[in-house]
Amino acid sequence: MAAVRSAVLPNPEATAALAAALAATAPPGAVVHLQGDLGTGKSTLARAWLRALGVTGPVRSPTYTLVERYPLASGGEALHLDLYRIGDAGELEFLGLDDADARLWLVEWPERGLGALPAPDLEVGLVVLGQGRACRLRFRTAAGDAWVAALDEQRRLRGVPEP
Ligand SMILES: Nc1ncnc2c1ncn2[C@@H]1O[C@H](COP(=O)(O)OP(=O)(O)O)[C@@H](O)[C@H]1O
Ligand SMILES: [Mg+2]
Protein backbone atom coordinates (compact mmCIF):
# COMPACT_ATOMS: atom_id res chain seq x y z
CA MET A 1 0.00 0.00 0.00
CA ALA A 2 1.45 3.30 -1.08
CA ALA A 3 1.29 6.26 1.32
CA VAL A 4 0.15 9.40 -0.49
CA ARG A 5 0.74 13.02 0.44
CA SER A 6 -0.10 16.14 -1.51
CA ALA A 7 0.97 19.75 -1.47
CA VAL A 8 0.20 23.00 -3.24
CA LEU A 9 3.35 24.73 -4.48
CA PRO A 10 2.44 28.36 -5.23
CA ASN A 11 5.89 29.34 -6.57
CA PRO A 12 9.30 27.85 -7.41
CA GLU A 13 10.53 28.56 -3.87
CA ALA A 14 7.83 26.23 -2.53
CA THR A 15 9.01 23.51 -4.90
CA ALA A 16 12.57 24.05 -3.66
CA ALA A 17 11.43 23.88 -0.02
CA LEU A 18 9.68 20.56 -0.69
CA ALA A 19 12.88 19.28 -2.32
CA ALA A 20 14.90 20.27 0.75
CA ALA A 21 12.47 18.47 3.07
CA LEU A 22 12.66 15.33 0.93
CA ALA A 23 16.46 15.55 0.75
CA ALA A 24 16.67 15.81 4.55
CA THR A 25 14.58 12.67 5.09
CA ALA A 26 15.42 10.40 2.11
CA PRO A 27 16.85 6.94 2.82
CA PRO A 28 20.22 6.12 1.26
CA GLY A 29 19.83 4.86 -2.30
CA ALA A 30 16.38 6.42 -2.70
CA VAL A 31 14.89 6.07 -6.18
CA VAL A 32 12.65 9.03 -7.09
CA HIS A 33 10.54 9.25 -10.23
CA LEU A 34 9.57 12.81 -11.22
CA GLN A 35 6.41 12.79 -13.31
CA GLY A 36 4.59 15.62 -15.03
CA ASP A 37 4.38 17.50 -18.32
CA LEU A 38 7.08 19.83 -19.61
CA GLY A 39 7.27 22.92 -17.45
CA THR A 40 5.71 21.50 -14.29
CA GLY A 41 8.90 21.90 -12.25
CA LYS A 42 10.66 18.53 -12.33
CA SER A 43 14.08 20.08 -12.97
CA THR A 44 13.42 22.82 -10.42
CA LEU A 45 12.79 20.13 -7.82
CA ALA A 46 15.83 18.08 -8.85
CA ARG A 47 18.15 21.10 -8.81
CA ALA A 48 16.99 22.21 -5.37
CA TRP A 49 17.37 18.64 -4.06
CA LEU A 50 20.98 18.48 -5.30
CA ARG A 51 21.69 21.90 -3.80
CA ALA A 52 20.27 20.70 -0.47
CA LEU A 53 22.77 17.82 -0.61
CA GLY A 54 25.61 20.30 -0.96
CA VAL A 55 26.13 20.29 -4.75
CA THR A 56 27.55 23.74 -5.49
CA GLY A 57 28.69 23.52 -9.13
CA PRO A 58 26.45 23.82 -12.19
CA VAL A 59 23.43 21.54 -12.34
CA ARG A 60 22.93 20.90 -16.03
CA SER A 61 19.86 19.44 -17.61
CA PRO A 62 20.61 15.86 -18.67
CA THR A 63 18.29 16.19 -21.66
CA TYR A 64 20.95 15.08 -24.16
CA THR A 65 23.37 13.16 -21.93
CA LEU A 66 20.43 11.29 -20.29
CA VAL A 67 22.33 11.28 -16.99
CA GLU A 68 24.41 13.70 -14.91
CA ARG A 69 26.30 12.40 -11.88
CA TYR A 70 27.11 14.37 -8.75
CA PRO A 71 29.62 13.11 -6.16
CA LEU A 72 28.26 13.79 -2.68
CA ALA A 73 30.27 15.03 0.29
CA SER A 74 28.59 12.30 2.36
CA GLY A 75 29.91 9.63 -0.05
CA GLY A 76 28.54 7.97 -3.15
CA GLU A 77 26.88 9.91 -5.92
CA ALA A 78 23.53 11.31 -6.93
CA LEU A 79 22.22 10.50 -10.40
CA HIS A 80 19.96 12.94 -12.23
CA LEU A 81 18.34 11.43 -15.31
CA ASP A 82 16.09 13.01 -17.92
CA LEU A 83 14.77 10.39 -20.32
CA TYR A 84 12.67 12.73 -22.47
CA ARG A 85 14.83 12.07 -25.54
CA ILE A 86 15.67 8.41 -24.97
CA GLY A 87 15.05 6.17 -27.98
CA ASP A 88 14.18 3.06 -26.03
CA ALA A 89 14.73 1.88 -22.49
CA GLY A 90 17.61 -0.37 -23.67
CA GLU A 91 19.79 2.74 -24.08
CA LEU A 92 19.96 2.96 -20.30
CA GLU A 93 22.08 -0.19 -20.16
CA PHE A 94 24.85 1.55 -22.10
CA LEU A 95 25.13 4.27 -19.52
CA GLY A 96 26.59 1.74 -17.09
CA LEU A 97 24.74 3.18 -14.11
CA ASP A 98 25.95 1.59 -10.91
CA ASP A 99 23.03 1.05 -8.58
CA ALA A 100 25.34 0.11 -5.74
CA ASP A 101 27.16 3.44 -5.62
CA ALA A 102 24.08 5.60 -6.23
CA ARG A 103 22.90 7.32 -3.08
CA LEU A 104 20.01 8.93 -4.93
CA TRP A 105 18.20 8.60 -8.26
CA LEU A 106 16.22 11.59 -9.52
CA VAL A 107 14.54 10.56 -12.77
CA GLU A 108 12.59 12.87 -15.08
CA TRP A 109 10.36 11.09 -17.65
CA PRO A 110 10.79 7.71 -15.92
CA GLU A 111 7.93 6.23 -17.94
CA ARG A 112 10.30 6.21 -20.94
CA GLY A 113 12.80 3.99 -19.13
CA LEU A 114 10.42 1.51 -17.57
CA GLY A 115 11.90 -1.95 -17.15
CA ALA A 116 15.44 -0.56 -17.14
CA LEU A 117 15.12 1.57 -14.00
CA PRO A 118 15.06 0.51 -10.36
CA ALA A 119 11.58 0.56 -8.81
CA PRO A 120 10.71 3.91 -7.25
CA ASP A 121 10.62 4.48 -3.49
CA LEU A 122 8.83 7.74 -4.26
CA GLU A 123 6.86 8.99 -7.22
CA VAL A 124 6.42 12.76 -7.40
CA GLY A 125 3.59 13.85 -9.71
CA LEU A 126 3.49 17.54 -10.67
CA VAL A 127 0.69 19.43 -12.43
CA VAL A 128 0.06 23.09 -13.18
CA LEU A 129 -2.40 24.72 -10.74
CA GLY A 130 -3.15 28.35 -11.55
CA GLN A 131 0.12 30.27 -11.41
CA GLY A 132 1.68 27.53 -9.29
CA ARG A 133 1.87 23.74 -9.18
CA ALA A 134 0.21 20.92 -7.30
CA CYS A 135 2.16 17.90 -6.29
CA ARG A 136 1.31 14.36 -5.24
CA LEU A 137 3.83 12.15 -3.47
CA ARG A 138 3.39 8.39 -3.53
CA PHE A 139 5.73 6.44 -1.26
CA ARG A 140 5.88 2.89 -2.52
CA THR A 141 8.45 0.61 -0.89
CA ALA A 142 9.30 -0.35 2.69
CA ALA A 143 12.00 2.33 2.55
CA GLY A 144 9.27 4.68 1.35
CA ASP A 145 7.14 3.88 4.42
CA ALA A 146 9.97 4.93 6.73
CA TRP A 147 10.58 7.98 4.58
CA VAL A 148 7.02 9.29 4.77
CA ALA A 149 7.06 8.81 8.54
CA ALA A 150 10.24 10.89 8.77
CA LEU A 151 8.73 13.54 6.50
CA ASP A 152 5.53 13.74 8.55
CA GLU A 153 7.57 14.05 11.72
CA GLN A 154 9.68 16.82 10.24
CA ARG A 155 6.58 18.76 9.18
CA ARG A 156 5.06 18.27 12.65
CA LEU A 157 8.19 19.60 14.32
CA ARG A 158 8.28 22.59 12.03
CA GLY A 159 4.60 23.27 12.60
CA VAL A 160 3.77 23.17 8.90
CA PRO A 161 0.08 22.32 8.48
CA GLU A 162 -0.77 19.04 6.77
CA PRO A 163 -2.18 19.53 3.29
N1 LIG B 1 5.79 25.70 -7.86
C2 LIG B 1 5.98 26.45 -8.96
N3 LIG B 1 5.14 27.49 -9.23
C4 LIG B 1 5.32 28.25 -10.34
N5 LIG B 1 6.31 28.04 -11.25
C6 LIG B 1 7.17 27.03 -11.03
C7 LIG B 1 7.04 26.19 -9.87
N8 LIG B 1 8.04 25.26 -9.93
C9 LIG B 1 8.74 25.52 -11.05
N10 LIG B 1 8.23 26.56 -11.72
C11 LIG B 1 8.71 27.16 -12.99
O12 LIG B 1 8.29 26.37 -14.07
C13 LIG B 1 9.21 26.48 -15.14
C14 LIG B 1 9.59 25.12 -15.68
O15 LIG B 1 10.30 24.44 -14.66
P16 LIG B 1 11.20 23.16 -14.93
O17 LIG B 1 11.71 22.74 -13.60
O18 LIG B 1 12.19 23.42 -16.01
O19 LIG B 1 10.11 22.10 -15.46
P20 LIG B 1 10.28 20.63 -16.09
O21 LIG B 1 11.64 20.11 -15.70
O22 LIG B 1 9.16 19.84 -15.48
O23 LIG B 1 10.09 20.79 -17.57
C24 LIG B 1 10.40 27.28 -14.60
O25 LIG B 1 10.30 28.60 -15.05
C26 LIG B 1 10.22 27.21 -13.10
O27 LIG B 1 10.75 28.33 -12.43
MG1 LIG C 1 13.14 19.16 -16.88
Residue 162 domain-assigned? no
pLDDT of residue 64: 87
Residue 21 domain-assigned? yes
Residue 80 domain-assigned? yes
Question: Residue 45 burial by CB count (10 A; 0-12/13-18/19+): exposed, middle or buried?
Answer: buried
Q: Is 42 within 8 Å of 127 (Cβ atoms)?
A: no
Residue 41 domain-assigned? yes
Ligand 1 is surrounded, with C-beta below 6 A, by 9, 11-12, 14-15, 36, 38-44, 108, 132-133
Number of structural domains (the chain) is 1
d(CA 46, CA 53): 11
The domain in which residue 110 lies consists of 7-153
Ligand 1 centroid to 94 CA: how many Å?
A: 30
Q: What's the CATH code of the domain at 90?
A: 3.40.50.300
Residue 90 domain-assigned? yes
Per-residue DSSP letter, 158: H
pLDDT of residue 93: 82
Alpha-carbon torsion, ordered 148, 40, 67, 52, to 10 deg: -50
Q: Which amino acid is it at 7?
A: A
Residue 160 domain-assigned? no
Residue 33 domain-assigned? yes
Per-residue DSSP letter, 95: G
- For the segment 39-66, the average pLDDT, to the nearest whole number, is 95
Atom of ligand 1 nearest to the CA of 36: 22
* Strand ranges of the sheet holding 30-35, from the earlier edge strand across to the other edge: 3-9, 132-139, 122-129, 30-35, 102-108, 77-82, 67-71
Query: CA dist 77 to 25, 91, 108, 122, Å?
Result: 17, 21, 17, 18
Report residue 8: phi and psi, to 5°: -100, 130
Atom of ligand 1 nearest to the CA of 61: 21
pLDDT (tens digit, 9 = 90+) per residue, 128-153? 999 999 999 999 999 999 999 999 99
Q: Of all protein residues, whose CA lies closest to atom 16 belonging to ligand 1?
A: 41
Residue 14 domain-assigned? yes
pLDDT (tens digit, 9 = 90+) per residue, 94-125? 787 877 789 999 999 999 998 889 999 999 99
